[in-house]
Amino acid sequence: MDISKIRKDFPILTRKMSDKPLVYLDNGATTLKPQPVIDAVVNYYTYLGANAHRGDYEMSAQVDAAFEGARVRTQKFLNAKHKEEIVFTSGSSEGLNLVAMMVTEQLLHEGDVILSDESEHASSILPWMQAGKKKGTKIDYIPLDEEGKITVENFKSVLTDQVKVVAIAMVSNVLGFVAPVKEIAKICHERGILLVIDGAQSTPHLNIDVQDLDCDFYAFSAHKMCGPTGVGALYGKKKWLDQLEPIFYGGESNARFDKSCSLTLKETPLKFESGTQPIEGVIGMAAAMDYLDAIGKENIHAHEVELKEYFLKKAKALGNIVVYNENAKSGIVTFNVKDKDQMIFAQDVASYLNTFGIAVRSGQHCAKLLPEVLKTPGTCRASFYLYNTKEEVDQLIDALKNATVENCVSIFF
């Protein structure tokens, strides 16, 4: 993997932040876009132009080919069995909300239990909490181990006959641990439990094979894997998608309806795609898949893990860095900085790093239940991707060396 060549694909890497060269280490939040993705999006606006699934003219047919081509591309990206199992969405959050609403309303009953855990992102767990309020379903939590991981043993320990759904992330957005999805899927299906996977943090970094994982639903966002914002996909096994009724209704999802309110929906997946879709986004997402696969996700992941190991070695030598997820094999480092005996508030550290042109995230990273597990109100998160370098890790370490409360306050003067 030639990082300097890869970096040339990302025009934004030439910009500055706080008058310093940009060191972008917030890839868990969103990723930067390479030229082929930008070109694909722009090509829709400068050449393709028409709506999808509608016209009897050449432009529209070209859009259809690109749009439905992106569906097949996504099918291959996840190794889904059928292209009909790919529903375009606005991203992971929408996909997970749709599943929670449809499944709770149409398949669950009062007293049924959804199993989740305390490391979940809001988008993975909140939709089930809210959808369940009317129905009377409840959430139970898989106990996390001392490192904050989901283990098969802990999962088994909370299984009851009331559990009908398991909703977890394949990779935690704060800690970066990979959940044992395949093993959990096997146990779920022995008991008729649906397995819903938040793939927001796994899809950009790991090869995903939904048939091998054998999950029932899998949602992800394009923007966390070099694609456009506002677009993503929801994978669902065809038998479930065929059975479920959509949440939204409108143009393109129906075949016909009449004054007596009789409605015939289109087949899966179009019945879930009411209204004009983010066509340029879908096309850009497919370009991002081409881009990542050409480099190879196993290479990308190995590079991220190498950067994390490099950071850990240097951070240990500094002595003032507390790392919360040392053993997670991913490009996510969750840490705080100590000034003598005092932990510096994460947001103070993040603002301090900004003055060096370094972008990291601070806070709870949308996982609001996790602070109790980590026993800290907030953390800083540096998350690496394919374009990050050891030199950038050095810059981060150099800045953290002098991160004191006093220096964090000094940025305001």
Q: Which of 156, 182, 377, 402 binds another protein (CB under 8 A)?
A: 377
**Per CB under 8 A, 408 contacts another protein:** yes
Measured from the CB atom, is 28 or 204 closer to another protein?
28
**Smallest gap, in angstroms, from Cβ of residue 346 to another protein?**
7
Indicate which single residue of 36, 49, 55, 363 sits in contact with another protein (rule: CB under 8 A). 363
Distance between CA atoms of residues 324 and 156, nearest Å: 25
**Interacting residue with another protein among 199, 222, 378, 387 (CB under 8 A):** 378
Residue entry with tokens 């559990």: 163
Pairing label, strands 20-21, 16-17: antiparallel
Point out which span in 196-204, 209-217, 282-290, 401-409 binds another protein (CB under 8 A).
401-409
Cβ proximity to another protein, 122 vs 397, nearer residue: 122
Calpha distance 323→336 (Å, rounded): 7
Number of residues that bind another protein (CB under 8 A): 20
Considering only residues 32 to 61 of the shown chain, the ones binding another protein according to CB under 8 A are none
Reference 137, options 158, 168, 115; nearest CA is 115
> In the sheet where 194-198 sits, what is the strand order?
86-89, 232-236, 217-221, 194-198, 163-169, 113-116, 138-141
Q: Is 364 in the site for another protein (CB under 8 A)?
A: yes
Residue 336 Cβ vs another protein, minimum distance, rounded to whole Å: 13
Residue 322 interacts with another protein (CB under 8 A): yes or no: no
Of the candidates 335, 315, 341, 408, the one whose C-alpha atom is nearest the C-alpha of residue 378 is 335
Contact 232, 74 (CB under 8 A): no
CA distance 323 to 333: 7
Binder of another protein out of 345, 389, 394, 397 (CB under 8 A): 345
Told to check if 251 binds another protein by CB under 8 A, we report no
Please tell me whether residue 211 binds another protein under the rule CB under 8 A: no
Is-cis flag, bond preceding 204, omega within 30?
no
Q: Does 351 bind another protein (CB under 8 A)?
A: yes
Q: Give the integer Cα–Cα distance in Å for 308 and 243.
A: 44
Q: Is 91 in the site for another protein (CB under 8 A)?
A: no
Q: Which is nearer to another protein, 159 or 405 (CB)?
A: 405
Report in angstroms how near the CB of residue 382 gets to another protein at its nearest.
17
Quick check: is 366 catalytic?
A: yes
CB of 412: closest distance to another protein in angstroms? 5
CB of 43 or CB of 354, closer to another protein: 354
The CB-of-343 to another protein minimum distance in angstroms stands at 11
Distance CA 308, CA 314 (A): 10
Binding segment (CB under 8 A) for another protein, from list 146-154, 250-258, 262-270, 341-349: 341-349
Among 32, 289, 346, 358, which residue interacts with another protein (rule: CB under 8 A)? 346
For residue 197, the cross-strand partners are: 168, 218
Contacts (Cβ under 8 Å, ≥6 apart) of 47: none
C-alpha dihedral sign at 83, 88, 92, 94:
negative
Spatial separation of the C-alpha atoms in residues 109 and 288, rounded to whole Å:
40
**Calpha distance 271→265 (Å, rounded):** 6
- List interacting residues with another protein (CB under 8 A): 345-348, 351, 354, 362-364, 368, 377-378, 405-406, 408-413
Catalytically active residues, by annotation: 366
